[in-house]
Chains A and B, each alone.
Chain A
Amino acid sequence: MELKSNEPTGPIDKRWTEHKANSKLVAPHNRRKHTVIVVGSGLAGGAAAATLGELGYRVKCFCFQDSPRRAHSIAAQGGINAAKNYQNDGDSIYRLFYDTVKGGDFRARESNVYRLAELSVEIIDQAVAQGVPFAREYGGLLANRSFGGAQVSRTFYARGQTGQQLLLGAYAGLARQIDAGTVKMYPRTEMLDLIVHEGRARGIVTRNLISGKLEAHVADVVVLATGGYGNVFYLSTNAKGSNATATWRAHRKGALFANPCYTQIHPTCIPRSGEAQSKLTLMSESLRNDGRVWVPRKKEDCDKDPKTIPEKDRYYYLEERYPAFGNLVPRDVASRNAMYVCEDDGLGVGPKVGDEPRRAVYLDFADAISRLGKDVVIERYGNLFEMYERITGDDPVETPMRIYPATHYTMGGLWVDYNLESTIPGLFVGGEANFSDHGANRLGASALMQGLADGYFVLPFTIGNYLGTVRQVSPLEDDDAICRDAIRDVKARIEKLMNAPSPKHGPDHFHRLLGNIIWRYCGMSRSRDGLKEALRQIPVLREQFYQELKITPTKDEGINQTLERAGRLEDFFELGELMCIDALEREESCGGHFRVEHQVDGEAKRDDENFQHAAAWAWTGDTAAPKLHKEALSFEYVKPTMRSYK
């Protein structure tokens, strides 16, 4: 299979405009003849469903939560980038494009990234018009801050609740269309399979999470905006329900899965406190703007009260190792260094969990408080401090925060072309669910930007082009044989899970074990031997899962939350295996993918000669032997350089 990116050529700043001018449109009276399914109601899905409905398509939107407003986009704290240059500090669309390509370590498609930077400015206009209450200066204009290593202030924010406010904006747009009758919302409804008919994506099989009923829904186009797969690690900053079933089931039906090994470990999360930990909580990395990261220089100081450790005995390791960027080095660099000081140097702080080395470093606001005053610091970070205190019982104004990296975002996802169409015609993928714009590493405040760019501005347009080109798909009804067969397959899968031969443990038991394997061997640093070990252990554990899984209630009718978790975990097993295969295949270090064999002085060593491509994997039926396809990447504008933040 040849992967065609379908990106336009010509000057990069004209590509999206020309692409739009050369694309097909669907006339208003024809739009209402087309049904579009949107799975997921976060920034990408909610925005796409709202905009498609507004254009006059018949939209069916699905989410597993009880309301579309609960999608996990809501939890994003820090902000959203846009090349508005409101601060007059030299920002531009080109510079945001440049930073994103470089931040992604030269593993993203230039055309897509440029479009993203271009659309960023429209997102802010759209959000403000919807009533999103971004932070403002006293003069009444929008405020900005610098975020995660950027040398300009281009991040718009809404206290520490930017994702919430942007999602509620998209949700309001969705509500308006539900009110107008163009969008029908299906909450508490989970997609369990994709229906492909005559080579095109034509529908989905869903389970109603209240009644347990399986149903087929057909459409002319299917959009997946179902988020990332970070919960493969069990412990992550994702919501407990975040899962990869929609994308994985599409993958099994023929959609290629690209770069699964690109996962982002976020440096500023609250450390684990015990064995029963069910999730990790992120503290916005905007905290690194004013907080200083350190550990004690001496091991014997590690369990002391940090305030009693004198300045000379504090090791501000990021400031010392990276004088130019200091505490604002990119996420992967900050994360890996925290791991080194805790695991290799044994300088971690905080209480011990089991026999593990102490895994936490300090993030200290004492300097910021003496420089800016307590009020300013609280104005900036008050709600984050409160959140931290609620979880840990400590007040960051009085005592330094403790932080440690945790899985936060997955750059890999379903492969899509410039139109965000997957390798299955008629299946479009937006937001974190696709692999599109962040390459090997995502910059801070870029996820909200991508989700909304895809949802508001790209998908509604490229779907029009698809429908305008195809014009008419063959008729298909919800009760056609192909739909009945698809429901039957899902039913068989559920029955297998519910009837394990020697049931012993609920799904969480196996999920924790899978998470341990992935975190250990395919987390912040990866090695050939480790990945091979993971690939040995995962199938063994999966077999045990199929043998010993225990699900109660024992009926699949009605609410069965144990069954929901088991089904999602089944797909994480296969996806986790593919992650390790991809990480093993990629013999280089780039972005969030760090292979210990490929480094110079502890810094990642990319191999552009052999790996300047996206690795897109095809399902073969054998989880151990997927087929690799490569999309070569070329860089006409931003010439690949070695990253250096020293």
Chain B
Amino acid sequence: MKTKNLKLHVWRQNGPTDTGRFEDHVAENVSEHMSFLEMLDELNERLIADGKDPVAFDHDCREGICGMCSMVINGHAHGPHERTTTCQIHMRHLFDEGWDEVWVEPWRASAFPIQKDLVVERQALDEIIHAGGYISIRTGSARDANEAPIPKPIADRAFDAATCIGCGACVAACPNASASLFTAAKIAHLGLLPQGQAERMSRAKRMVAKMDELGFGGCTNHGECEKACPKGISIDFIAQMNRDLLKAVITDRDVPSGHGDGE
């Protein structure tokens, strides 16, 4: 089993208005089998024992699906390993990069205010979903699930978009801090399925308008989002979003911009 000493530079910031700074630490005898967050756990236990404030960071499931963890590691959103969340980064992935020194930062985007250290507020992503990222179906009123067959390739494609975990790495990696990949994934997931057709145009219009309103930047095709996405969601979906949006603007001028369903 390989072990290593690592030099850490961790972002510390007391609140949204604090300037923040890097703080240096050393993680000793780190095992290759440890996860990155377990390495931070150990650092925090030591800080608590020394009477210092531990590093605040978000995490929950620690198996790559809840989307809560969010760190930029040596400039990479979610670290160096492709299609992997921060919580699934293991130290061997850092060793493979040959890194002895690690810079740990929060997501940086004006729509994601830093609350403390590595903790950011991502409610803006929820707000984009509130603006129509759903199919309006009343509980208990659905028809039999097998009444409408869906060709497997379409179902699979919708699934590829639906795997988004809402972590915000796409925003953190984008030079424009755009949420286009996140928004496009939801628009494509629902827009590909027959169930999602009724609201397809209004959905695209409302969600994109909300994204702009919340201070996310526009997409200029850098492709950094796709590279950082832990679920490997393709930027092709952004093209599809733009098609839907264009079509909505041209053909569907009367779509109300208010609530999809006011009941």
Contacts and interface: CB of A to CB of B under 8 A. Distances in A.
A134 B195 CA distance: 13
Interface in B105-147: 115-116, 119, 121-123, 125-126, 129-146
Contacts of B26: none
A210 B115 contact: yes
A74 B66 contact: yes
A175 B151 contact: no
A129 interface: yes
Contacts of B136: 176
A246 to B, nearest CB: 16
A276 B140 contact: no
Q: Interface size class for chain B?
A: 35 or more
Contact of A140 (B130, B150, B262): B150
A287 interface: no
A387 B63 contact: yes
Contacts of A171: 129
B135 A172 contact: yes
Interface string B79-94: 0010110001010100
Interface in A55-77: 56, 65-70, 72, 74-75
Contacts, number: 238
B44 interface: yes
Contacts of B37: 278
Nearest to A276: B38
A237 B63 CA distance: 9
Contacts of A237: 63
Contact of A175 (B52, B92, B134, B196): B134
Contacts of A274: 31, 33-34
Given A66-B121, A126-B142, A558-B15, A178 B130 contact: yes
Output the residue of B33, B38, B143 with the most chain A CB within 10 A. Answer: B33
A173 to B, nearest CB: 7
Contact of B60 (A86, A173, A239, A393): A239
Contacts of A122: 140, 142
B60 A133 contact: no
B195 A172 contact: no
Given A84-B145, A172-B133, A276-B41, A550 B190 contact: no
Max chain B C-beta neighbours (<10 A), residue from A131, A279, A393: A131
Interface string B54-90: 1010111111111110000000000001011000101
B246 interface: no
B14 to A, nearest CB: 8
Interface in A321-352: 351
A281 interface: yes
Contacts of B225: none
Interface in A191-219: 210
A608 B49 CA distance: 51
Contacts of B35: 278, 391
A179 B142 contact: no
A40 to B, nearest CB: 14
Interface string A123-141: 0111111110111111111
A536 B79 CA distance: 45
Given A159-B159, A239-B60, A456-B140, A128 B145 contact: yes
Contacts of B42: 276
B152 interface: yes
B60 A65 contact: yes
A29 interface: no
Contact of A559 (B61, B64, B115): B115
A274 B39 CA distance: 12
A400 B145 CA distance: 37
B155 A136 contact: yes
Contacts of A558: 15, 116
Contact of A75 (B47, B61, B115, B158): B61
Contact of A125 (B84, B131, B143, B196): B143
Contacts of B263: 54, 56, 180, 182
B240 interface: no
B165 interface: yes
A128 B142 contact: yes
Given A173-B134, A559-B119, A131 B196 contact: yes
A3 B200 CA distance: 51
Contacts of A168: 162
Interface in B11-37: 15, 31-35, 37
Q: How large is the interface on A (under 10, 10 to 19, 20 to 34, 35 or more residues)?
A: 35 or more
B159 A133 contact: yes
A519 interface: no
A241 interface: yes
A187 to B, nearest CB: 7
Nearest to A392: B33
B54 A129 contact: no
A19 to B, nearest CB: 16
Nearest to B193: A131
Contacts of B236: none
A449 B102 CA distance: 44
Interface in B228-263: 259-263
A158 B42 CA distance: 36
A362 to B, nearest CB: 19
A289 B190 CA distance: 31
B31 A276 contact: yes
Nearest to B59: A240
Interface stretch (A100-108, A413-421, A474-482, A505-513): A505-513
A562 interface: yes
A213 to B, nearest CB: 14
A30 interface: no
A8 interface: no
Name which of A133, A158, A171, A273 has the most chain B CB atoms within 10 A of its CB: A133
A50 interface: yes
Contacts of B138: 54
B100 interface: no
Contacts of B142: 122, 125-126, 128-129
Nearest to B37: A278
B195 A128 contact: yes
A131 B42 CA distance: 42
A333 B194 CA distance: 43
B45 A508 contact: yes
A457 B66 contact: no
Contacts of B159: 133, 158-159, 165
Interface string A264-281: 000000000110111101
Given A178-B130, A179-B131, A390 B68 contact: no
B59 A133 contact: no
A314 B53 CA distance: 52
B227 interface: no
- Count chain A CB atoms within 10 A of each CB in B37, B42, B125, B139 and give the residue with the most: B139
B66 A70 contact: yes
Given A136-B149, A140-B155, 8 more contacts: A66-B122, A122-B142, A126-B137, A175-B134, A239-B62, A273-B33, A390-B84, A552-B53
3 pairs of A and B residues whose beta carbons are closest in the complex: A140-B149, A172-B134, A129-B142
23 contacts: A66-B123, A67-B126, A70-B66, A72-B60, A72-B61, A72-B66, A84-B145, A122-B142, A127-B145, A131-B193, A133-B193, A138-B152, A141-B149, A165-B162, A179-B134, A179-B260, A182-B263, A276-B38, A278-B37, A460-B139, A506-B44, A552-B47, A562-B54
